[in-house]
Amino acid sequence: MSAQEKTMIGVIGVREAEILASKLAVEGIEIQSVYSHASCKSGCSPSKEIWAHAGDIPAIQQIMRDDHLKTLAEMGVDPNQVHQVFDPLKPTAICPACGVEFQTSETECPDCGLGFG
């Protein structure tokens, strides 16, 4: 991979860089992780710059998105739930924190206590 062919796509921890490289290698995608003093400010934890072919970036993004959604599902989190909006003009709302439906006359979720004041 020459410098002209690659683009820096981010800076992540050393262990995360190893995990990402392994996941992408299974899909036939090569990345390069490079430690750089320029990307580390005073007091930062060890990190690496991640470089990849520009043409691989959409596939890398999709793999990372799928992995994130899988992790959320394993934790029992519905990613669509966070887009819920409390509208006091509607009769009910769905709590974006726990997913419980409740009357908007209440300003606090009856299940988890999230406030909507």
- What is the widest separation between alpha-carbon atoms in the chain? 61
Residue 17 neighbours by CB distance under 10 Å: 22
Domains of the chain: 3-74 (3.30.70), 78-117 (no CATH)
pLDDT of res. 1: 46
Angle at 49 between CA 46 and CA 51, to 5 degrees: 155
pLDDT in tens, the chain (117 residues): 444 589 999 989 889 999 999 999 999 999 998 887 666 666 667 888 999 999 999 999 999 999 999 998 898 878 888 788 889 999 999 998 888 999 999 989 999 999 987
* pLDDT at residue number 40: 63
Model pLDDT, residue 81: 81
Q: Does the pTM of the predicted model rise above 0.85?
A: no
Backbone angles phi, psi at 72, to 5 degrees: -60, -45
Distance CA 15, CA 69 (A): 20
